Copies of this chain bind each other. A is one copy, B any other.
Amino acid sequence: MSAPEVFREKSLMRAWSRYHRFQGKTLALVPTMGFLHEGHLLLVRTAKSLADVTVVSIYVNPGQFAPSEDLASYPSDLAGDLRKLSAAGADAVFCPADLYHSSPGDLPIEGEAASCLEDDGSGHETWIRVEMLEKGLCGRSRPVFFRGVATVVAKLFNIVEPDLAIFGKKDYQQWRVICRMVRDLDFAITVIGLDVVREADGLAMSSRNVRLSPECREKALSIYRSLSKAKISAEKGQKNSHELKYLVKQMISEAGGKIDYVEVVEQQGLQPVEEEISCPVVVCVAASFGDVRLIDNVEINI
């Protein structure tokens, strides 16, 4: 397997994509923030099976982190990532140093004045808002998160110009936000969501898992166990969303997790289902163990 081509410049990345598209090849993009695990590599292998050439982007997007969040401690290992992507057969890797027109710390504050001159005061100021889908679930505790995700993904789409883009459904709300953005803005891109990939013991794969202590990692298994139990319970006839949420909250709390939210929402618009479940739903969880915030979910197709 030959090593992927690595691009740090937008213009070179786009030229490579266009070269391949001009030859009639289809192109898949797998956007990541690096520190790749088996879940990412499954996205890459799926991309390869669906398109002629596969591009993986690696970029920890400052636009989706609030100042209080874990941007600085987000793990990275570019050399390791490139080895894994080479083995997985990625054709190109796009890993820009910066994608914005100002340094991460300089993202403009609403209402802040721009300078008189283009060259010394014109920071990034364009944001894509998916106004309903961005609000609930993770959007409540992370108010700038999804505008940052939507915006950076649109930038990557415009740089790489893929035919397909592949996301993990572990980040369920993110996946729905991207699907809606692509539809609403008429991007000529097919968005594909792949099921959550789990460790042997059920923990959803995440780059953040390495930050869990062994003790917290064991306790964090309560997330998947509770979600599995809720799914089985619903399939056996328990249609009351309060009961299902209670079951999940109880198990995670008892294990020592600090719950951000447990919600039962319909699968398209992610609107809460407050009473009886009567459409396909997804049970979404965000909870912290130690200082590591984890998310997970399970779809229930009734």
Contact = CB atoms under 8 A, between A and B. Distances in A.
A112 interface: yes
A124 B22 contact: no
Nearest to A24: B22
A158 B185 contact: yes
A115 B126 CA distance: 29
Given A110-B131, A129-B127, A116 B279 contact: yes
Given A22-B22, A132-B108, A155 B185 contact: yes
Secondary structure at the A interface, as helix, strand, loop or mixed, is loop
Contact of A269 (B114, B124, B154, B155): B114
A300 interface: no
A101 interface: yes
Interface string A69-87: 0000000000000000000
Contacts of A268: 114, 116-118, 122
A125 B279 contact: no
A159 interface: yes
A111 B139 CA distance: 13
Interface in A59-115: 99-101, 108, 110-115
Nearest to A135: B111
Nearest to A124: B184
Interface residues of A, number: 51
A130 interface: yes
B113 A271 contact: yes
Nearest to A159: B186
Interface string A145-165: 000001100110011010000
B130 A126 contact: yes
A180 B131 contact: no
Contacts of A170: none
B101 A14 contact: no
A10 B99 CA distance: 30
Contact of A108 (B131, B271, B279): B131
Given A115-B269, A132-B108, A101 B184 contact: yes
A129 B129 contact: yes
A186 B122 contact: no
A105 B122 CA distance: 36
Contact of A158 (B132, B159, B186, B273): B186
A131 B112 CA distance: 10
Contacts of A132: 108, 111-114, 125
A254 B128 CA distance: 43
B125 A126 contact: no
Given A151-B185, A155-B186, A185-B158, A125 B114 contact: no
| 10 pairs of A and B residues whose beta carbons are closest in the complex | A114-B269, A126-B184, A158-B186, A118-B268, A155-B186, A116-B266, A116-B279, A125-B131, A125-B132, A126-B130
Given A10-B186, A151-B185, 4 more contacts: A115-B271, A116-B279, A127-B129, A158-B185
